[in-house]
Amino acid sequence: MKLPLSGLRVLDLTNVLAGPYCSMVLADMGADVIKLENADKGDTSRQFEPQVNGESYCFAVLNRNKKSIALNLKDPAGLKIAQQLAAQADIVMENFRPGVVKRMGLDYDSIRLHNPGVIYAAMSGFGQTGPYGKKGGFDIIAQGMSGIMMMTGEPGGRPAKVGIAMNDIASGVTALSGILGALIGKLRFGEGQYLETSLLEAGLAWTPWEFGAFFGSGEIPTATGTRHRRSAPYQAYRTQDGYVTVGAGTQKMWVTFCEKVIHQPDWTQRPAYLTQALRVDHVDELERDIESVLTHNTTAHWVELLDAAGIPGGPVFGYEQALNDPHVLARKMVHDIDHPIIGPMKTLGLPIKSSGALGSIRTPAPWLGQHSTELLSQLGYDNEAIEALFTQGAVFDQYRDKERPPA
């Protein structure tokens, strides 16, 4: 069974995380993703530690199922190759600062002159228009300017960054949904289109509860630690040996939690705890009361009782515990793959399981310029022309003229 995006070609001009995450999912779904990289050092994330045999492990996790061509875009011959690849692509992705691709003739208007059906996705820090349209941006800048850092961390503490690059991933997922929507539109109506998103907008789009509270009542969201702003008990609580999360998010669950988990049935009649809204208003008192019980036993003990009572809950793991958890392993979220330079390695598994062919992990991430010769041949360049391009430095292959280290 063919993967859903088989036969579609993506020219990926993006760098680091947001764009490469999006193109990784497209590649997992079967698209032929050509990662166009700078001939000097390639994608910035190739420099990230840890390095194994000179290859970034982090880059390798994010760039599976892709091909790499390395070009010197300051060389007219290198730029011409990029334009030829764009003319043949079904999808083009870029995350340069606004205006850069236009100077290179790789903007949407230039490409669609020769490729009118192209779907073109632009990703940036703040979008292509508006007062900040020309401003560069990284994940932490977008987290700060979207208000997310002010609502993250412990109450009264300094602004805190979300533990992962949330706005980067949000932007990648947002671009992905736009690309897939544009593909469906092209199948139905026969036309490609231009779409763009930003780190700022994608992060803001993930704040519907906070947005509703602000415009509904003027509430300004502040840091709440692990607490929920609308539900209690719904947070992480200390136990004898760590922390446990409790999601007793309905009145029925609250009663069950009191009666069958912490064995405090009288709490259901306390005036401060009678309703969800009252429990949220008295969340400090509620936390002290619950922890006065939970700290007398282990996390595993409380998880067992929560599960038996049908109350959502679980341990608070460190990342190493999460990746070694039997359930995570059973769901195949840690995938083994052989990399030609790194050797046997782990990569993230597919988070979507399906009854048909929806995604697969087929090939490891490429070394810099691994497919340069192959792609030039597909464009019609003969061996002599390809050799000349390498000689003049317009094209690059990291291991064309030297032996690869043993994996």
The pLDDT tens digits for 203-248 are 999 999 999 999 999 999 999 999 999 999 999 999 999 999 999 9
Taking the alpha carbons of 286, 291, 293, 299 in that order, is the dihedral positive or negative? positive
Catalytic residue at 43?
no
Q: Exactly one of 90, 107, 168, 397 is catalytic; name it.
A: 168
Q: Which two tokens stand for residue 185?
A: 């539109």
96-119: pLDDT as tens digits: 988 899 999 999 999 999 999 999
Write down the domain spans for the chain. Answer: 9-205+330-396, 234-238+243-315
Q: What CATH code would you report for 234-238+243-315?
A: 3.30.1540.10
pLDDT given for residue 97 in this prediction:
87
DSSP bridge pairs for 195 = 121
Q: Report which secondary-structure segment, H or E, holds 313.
A: strand 313-315
pTM: 0.95
Superfamily of domain 9-205+330-396: Crotonobetainyl-coa:carnitine coa-transferase; domain 1 (3.40.50.10540)
The Cα 367–Cα 358 span in angstroms is 26
User: Could you say which DSSP state residue 4 is in?
Assistant: T
Per-residue pLDDT, averaged over 22-51, amounts to 97
The Cα 386–Cα 375 span in angstroms is 10
Cα Rg of the chain, angstroms: 25
CB atoms within 10 A of CB 212: 12
Per-residue pLDDT, averaged over 126-154, amounts to 95
Residue 21 has pLDDT above 80, yes or no: yes
Residue 49 has pLDDT above 80, yes or no: yes
Per-residue pLDDT, averaged over 16-34, amounts to 98
pLDDT given for residue 98 in this prediction:
85
pLDDT given for residue 99 in this prediction:
87
